[in-house]
Amino acid sequence: MNKTIQLQDLGIKDFKDTWDYQETLFKAILDTKIKNRREDAGLETANHFLFVEHPHVYTLGKSGDLTNLLLSEEQLAEKEATFYKINRGGDITYHGPGQIVGYPILDLDNFFTDVHKYLRFLEEVIILTLAEYGLKTERSPGETGVWLGVGTPFARKICAMGVRASRWVTMHGFALNVNADLGYFDHIIPCGIKGKAVTTLNNELGVDNVDEAEVKQKILKHFSELFEAEFIKPEH
């Protein structure tokens, strides 16, 4: 089992371009698995992890409800935001500057074949990362992601998650609000959940800006420990 993960930080990159890139990596892993099954080729499957920051964009999961987007096409253009219906689970969410997005494209045959466990591990990575900033975050029963104030009138989501898995290969992932502009969440019903707020790390800490590079390092540390994996940077 290959437990090395090729790490790339794509910087600021258009959502659709990144989605296409994810699909390319995803398909390559699937093709290897199919070849192994048909020809008993014994080839090692790759694992990837992409960090990225998207320009303003709203994305709707395959089971999502379009009425959870509260903007017209004209209003989207005014806000310099784009919109895509995509092939992950979950409902609607927002991505934009000040948000750390992570896309693990893993062959779970290299780790464990359990998508429920995979989602819980992703949540745990974020929970452990935010604990390093003194925040007590947790899961909300029946609602994927990471929250503060669960069970209180002040429940608020700090990290959204939505994944796709096929033949135990994953794509899409998580979006952690670090220094994001929360105003953009006012134009959707986030994840289709009414009456619950969204927050950011810098808001919770009461500071203007949190060092995103530092947050990424903490995420990688906890991810590698939980998944018993080693991150490497591609040679090319």
> What distance lies between CA 220 and its chain's CA centroid?
13
What is the pTM (predicted TM-score) of this model?
0.95
Asked whether residue 131 is marked as a ligand-binding residue, the answer is: no
Q: Which residue has the higher pLDDT, 189 or 95?
A: 95
CATH topology (fold) of 4-232: BirA Bifunctional Protein; domain 2 (3.30.930)
Choice among 46, 191, 220, 229 that is catalytic: 191
Asked whether residue 91 is marked as a ligand-binding residue, the answer is: yes
For the question of residue 191 being annotated catalytic, the response is yes
Res. 193: pLDDT tops 80: no
Asked whether residue 42 is marked as a ligand-binding residue, the answer is: no
Question: pLDDT tens digits for 196-209?
Answer: 789 999 999 999 99
Which of 191, 33, 35, 164 shows the shortest CA–CA distance to 104?
A: 164
What is the band of 195 on the pLDDT scale with cuts at 50, 70, 90?
low
Question: pLDDT tens digits for 36-68?
Answer: 999 998 999 999 999 999 999 999 988 888 888
Contact 54, 14 (CB under 8 A): yes
Asked whether residue 165 is marked as a ligand-binding residue, the answer is: no
Q: Which residue has the higher pLDDT, 143 or 122?
A: 122
Enumerate the domain spans of the chain.
4-232
